[in-house]
Amino acid sequence: MILGIESSCDETAAAVVRSGQELLASVVASQIATHSPYGGVVPELASREHLRSLVPVTRAALQKAGLTYEELDAIAVTSGPGLAGALLTGVSFAKSLAWALNKPLIAVNHIEGHIHAVLLEECQKAGDEIEFPVMALVVSGGHTHLFLAARSGESWHYENVGHTRDDAAGEAFDKTAKLLGLGYPGGPVIDRLARFGDAKAVKFTFAQLKHTARQPSKRAAQVRDGRKRFDFSYSGIKTAVLRYVELHEMFATIEKRRRALLEIASPSDEVLRDLCDQQTLDLVASFQAAVVGDLTRRTLAACEEYGVRTLLVSGGVAANSALRASFERRAPRAGLRACFPSRAMSTDNAAMIAAAAYPKWLGREFSGLELTAEANLQLR
Ligand code: KG4
Ligand code: ZN
């Protein structure tokens, strides 16, 4: 019975998972309302909100699971990567709990957590074993990574075979939405609006996408240490959207929309659509199609190169309907099984941290009280 704690960015979360598979409770306190007036996460405010929420969120998770602190077997916590101050709040809280309760402390990499969010739900489908080799695409506001995943005994190991050279895919969604006056976070809004636009209306040419839109299996894939790499780049498309907005003099309507949305707490799809002209809807649809197309092409090329049987797609952007549809359509044709977490498990939560901690519990990979937050923690 592992208690997971997550505070790496703008969600304070606690969850209890039994044996890495059975979700007993998952509570997430979102800070969207705190950060949205600024159009992005303000690190100082995030840390303060975590301090406020950690205790009530953990109590709520235990209450939901019907457990006392004493009945827990271990405390797992995200130790990185993420915002240093935000991570520190969770790590300090988890260390205090582990010390006071005299329970083992398990440090979990946030990216590994995202990968285990898929496994947690897939493992619940009885008799359904994951086939290796496994590729994990972790695509969120802070990360765009391709990892080849292997298991030896209970331990999981990861080899990075691709990552973004600049912006993460979720960051491109967020920055594009902000630029278009659509608020924060941008991914869900763009996802909802894209279906009203023509995805072929605006061509994001290869040059605008810099090196990302070239043929991934040939030119963009690089060889390092004899292993082919499949890197991404999403800062070019953000600039291309800005150029389009400048060229078509869209700033006045953007500002009007931005002001209107500040007054509406949770706008419906219809309200959002009414605040956008067709040109904006087409731009949004074309942007999403370009990013989704690039993520799919590059990931499938990497899977082909490494003879992968199972693809795990996780992280906030895995909630995107077009990305799911794209992989669901194209993965079977490539002889691949593509697995996604449910939408709630795609974005940050603590169930994924508790699930990723279970193999470490079995392998007795515990941390001491010297554990500290590592903003740039690598996954291996
Ligand atoms: O995993 P997550 O909650 O936090 C990080 O670890 O970054 O991911 C948040 C990111 C944000 O960039 C958000 O815009 C994006 O995931 N996101 C989406 C969708 N839902 C969340 N992007 C595209 N489509 C969505 N439906
Ligand atoms: Zn995340």
Q: Classify residue 309 as exposed, middle or buried by CB count within 10 Å of its CB (0-12, 13-18, 19+).
A: middle
State whether the beta carbon of 170 lies less than 6 angstroms from ligand 1.
yes
State whether the beta carbon of 173 lies less than 6 angstroms from ligand 1.
yes
Taking CA atoms only, the protein residue closest to ligand 1 atom 16 is 316
Between 71-80, 85-94, 263-272, 296-305, the lowest mean confidence (pLDDT) is in: 263-272
* Cα 21 to Cα 117: distance, rounded to the nearest angstrom: 10
Query: What is the CA(93)–ligand 1 centre distance, in A?
Result: 26
Q: Judge whether residue 10 has pLDDT over 50.
A: yes
Taking CA atoms only, the protein residue closest to ligand 1 atom 22 is 187
* Closest of 47, 53, 70, 68 to residue 14, by C-alpha: 53
Q: How confident is the model over 188-212, as a mean pLDDT?
A: 80
pTM of the complete model: 0.93
* Closest of 90, 96, 113 to residue 316, by C-alpha: 113
State whether the beta carbon of 319 lies less than 6 angstroms from ligand 1.
yes
Q: What is the DSSP string of 282-334?
A: HHHHHHHHHHHHHHHHHHHHHHHHTT-SEEEEESGGGG-HHHHHHHHHHHHHT
Q: Which residues make up the environment of ion ligand 2, defined by Cβ < 5 Å? A: 140, 348
Q: What is the DSSP string of 21-68?
A: TEEEEEEEEE-HHHHGGGTS--HHHHHHHHHHHHHHHHHHHHHHHT--
Confidence of residue 215 (pLDDT cuts 50, 70, 90): very low
Shortest-distance ligand to the CA of residue 187: 1
* Closest of 369, 374, 283 to residue 106, by C-alpha: 369
Query: What is the CA(367)–ligand 2 centre distance, in A?
Result: 22
Q: In what side-by-side order are the strands of the sheet with 337-339? A: 155-163, 144-152, 134-139, 310-314, 337-339
State whether the beta carbon of 176 lies less than 6 angstroms from ligand 1.
no
* Cα 127 to Cα 338: distance, rounded to the nearest angstrom: 17
Query: What is the CA(196)–ligand 2 centre distance, in A?
Result: 28
Q: Judge whether residue 211 has pLDDT over 60.
A: no
* Closest of 47, 43, 101 to residue 71, by C-alpha: 101
Q: What is the DSSP string of 86-98?
A: HHHHHHHHHHHHH
Name the amino acid, one letter, at 144.
T
Q: What is the mean pLDDT of the chain?
A: 93
Q: How confident is the model over 259-270, as a mean pLDDT?
A: 92
314 neighbors 339 (Cβ within 8 angstroms):
no
* Cα 92 to Cα 159: distance, rounded to the nearest angstrom: 29
Query: What is the CA(245)–ligand 1 centre distance, in A?
Result: 23
Name the amino acid, one letter, at 287.
F
* Cα 32 to Cα 110: distance, rounded to the nearest angstrom: 19
Taking CA atoms only, the protein residue closest to ligand 1 atom 11 is 141
State whether the beta carbon of 184 lies less than 6 angstroms from ligand 1.
no
> Do the strands 11-18 and 2-6 form a parallel or antiparallel pair, or are they unpaired?
antiparallel
pLDDT score for 206? 44
